[in-house]
Amino acid sequence: RKEVEQDPGPFNVPEGATVAFNCTYSNSASQSFFWYRQDCRKEPKLLMSVYSSGNEDGRFTAQLNRASQYISLLIRDSKLSDSATYLCVVNWGGSGNTGKLIFGQGTTLQVKP
Amino acid sequence: EAQVTQNPRYLITVTGKKLTVTCSQNMNHEYMSWYRQDPGLGLRQIYYSMNVEVTDKGDVPEGYKVSRKEKRNFPLILESPSPNQTSLYFCASSTLGGGSYNEQFFGPGTRLTVL
């Protein structure tokens, strides 16, 4: 099993659609979780951190399910500008701050007019 | 302006010719890291540093060296580059706090081709 796994897609959706991505992680000791956005081989940029209680930022909602070891990202009312690759990031966990961060392969979203 | 800079942005070199990719951040971040990105494999961590003089291996450290003599700089050294190190490289930095990791700021990337 990969340490962090995402469906690479692509997800092709019409404008206004709601789309959800999942990301599974293998290490139950992981403590920090993030979603990053990457446009066309440019540098990744933080979209949102994922908190235990779930969190929302405008049209974006992130959730963490520790029991099943996955995080999710929900995008409502998709815009053309949401087209990008979404990267799931998990710290490796274990005792202390190990510093090792694992990126998922990324999920590509294409929003069509 | 708060930023992470990398140099060079593009580099074509030949097998075995030592090279260094520089990374510098002006945000006083403790944590710095190097990644490589390859099609179908995503970003993979090469090395990271939790603070000055503290470095550790990521997932794919073979063939690379790093050093952290100053807080702002974290150069990546390829002593004897090989074609399988052709990749897009990103440097990133972040603060550390409360036992968790904070937003990583990425440099613009260095596209390396080893012939």
Q: How would you write the pLDDT of chain B (115 residues) with one tens digit per residue?
A: 889 999 999 999 999 999 999 999 999 999 999 999 998 888 999 999 999 999 999 989 999 999 999 999 999 999 999 999 999 999 999 987 655 567 889 999 999 999 9
Chosen for mutation from A33, A35, A97, A105 (greatest number of chain B CBs closer than 10 Å) is A97
Q: Which residue has the higher pLDDT, A98 or A27?
A: A27
C-alpha to C-alpha distance for A77 and B82, rounded to whole angstroms: 46
The answer, for B42 touching chain A at a CB cutoff of 8 Å, is yes
3-state secondary structure of A70: strand
Residue B100 is predicted with a pLDDT of 56
CA-nearest residue to A30 within chain B is B100
Q: Is the pLDDT of residue A32 over 70?
A: yes
The single-letter code of the amino acid at A10 is P
How confident is residue A94, by pLDDT bands cut at 50, 70 and 90?
Answer: low
C-alpha to C-alpha distance for A112 and A12, rounded to whole angstroms: 7
The answer, for B98 touching chain A at a CB cutoff of 8 Å, is no
- E strands, chain B, in order: 4-7, 10-13, 19-25, 31-38, 42-51, 54-57, 65-66, 76-78, 87-94, 96-97, 100-101, 105-106, 110-114
Residue A95 is predicted with a pLDDT of 55
